[in-house]
Amino acid sequence: MQPGRDPAGPVVAAFDFDGTLTRGDSLIPWLRGGQGPARLGWALGKTLPALAAWQLGRISNEAAKLVLLRHTVAGRSRDELAAWTDRFLHEALPGLLDPRALKRLAEHRAAGHRCVMVSASPEVYLEAVARQLGFDALLCSRLEWQGGCATGRLIGANCHGEEKVRRLQVWWADQPPSAVWAYGDTRGDRPMLALADHGIYVGAPDGRGHYERLPPLKT
């Protein structure tokens, strides 16, 4: 048992979202459904230098994301972004979700485990996704709002890498878990997987993941 565990506490199952519960990225499909391909293409063109710098390790994941958000959601109202989310839930999400991941999530829920989604994607659409999938909690990046409109900035840190660990530890501080399962698919999830008693990397070079070889839910 890792430090910080309480034998009388609940079992926690922490899932990354993009590429773990889904077959790929969700932010771009959400933006595409709201803005349309042409407007999104323009925004991606404006963001391309930042994305290239991030790939080369010159800027952080958060810095690149902020450039994209500035060109896509800045100035948009809550009602407008809520409409984007409704469209995403009905049109894009069903095809993005990985049935094998949903099966694993259902197993955790059936076992009475506390299930939490931990993602760098923003709450503006993940809150609705987490409710739909039956999660007990959502820990994610959060948009900043001013005068009822998104600013294109975040409140606090991007929920990525070590920030995922910090958010989890704050979330369970009042009721430490007896054991933690964690699922992720990128290097940004590795700190969370290292924190877990059962850290499971589901990414694979061929994109199919490793759900077929998951260990049974024994703690």
The pTM score is: 0.92
pLDDT the model gives residue 213: 74
Closest listed residue to residue 3, CA positions, set 171, 176, 184, 163: 176
Mean pLDDT score of the chain: 90
Residue that has been written with the tokens 């900035």 in this structure: 153
pLDDT digits (tens, 9 = 90+) for 45-90: 888 877 777 676 777 777 888 888 999 999 999 999 999 999 999 9
Q: Which residues pair with 183 in a beta bridge?
A: 15, 200
For the stretch 95-132, pLDDT in tens is 999 999 999 999 999 999 999 999 999 999 999 999 99
Task: Report the alpha-carbon distance of residue 185 to residue 37 in Å, rounded.
Answer: 27
Q: Is the dihedral of CA 162, 111, 207, 17 positive or negative?
A: negative
Q: How confident is the model at residue 204 (pLDDT cuts 50, 70, 90)?
A: low
C-alpha atoms less than 13 angstroms from C-alpha of 175 in its C-beta half-sphere? 6
Which tens digits make up the pLDDT trace of 17-54?
A: 999 999 989 999 999 999 888 888 888 788 887 777 76
Query: According to the model, what pLDDT value does residue 66 have?
Result: 87
What pLDDT is stored for residue 209 in this prediction? Answer: 55
Poorest-confidence range of 125-134, 153-162, 204-213?
204-213
Interatomic CA distance for residues 165 and 171, integer angstroms: 10
- 3-class secondary-structure state, position 172: coil
Domains parsed from the chain with CATH numbers = 11-213 (3.40.50.1000)
- CA dist 116 and 136 (Å) reads 6
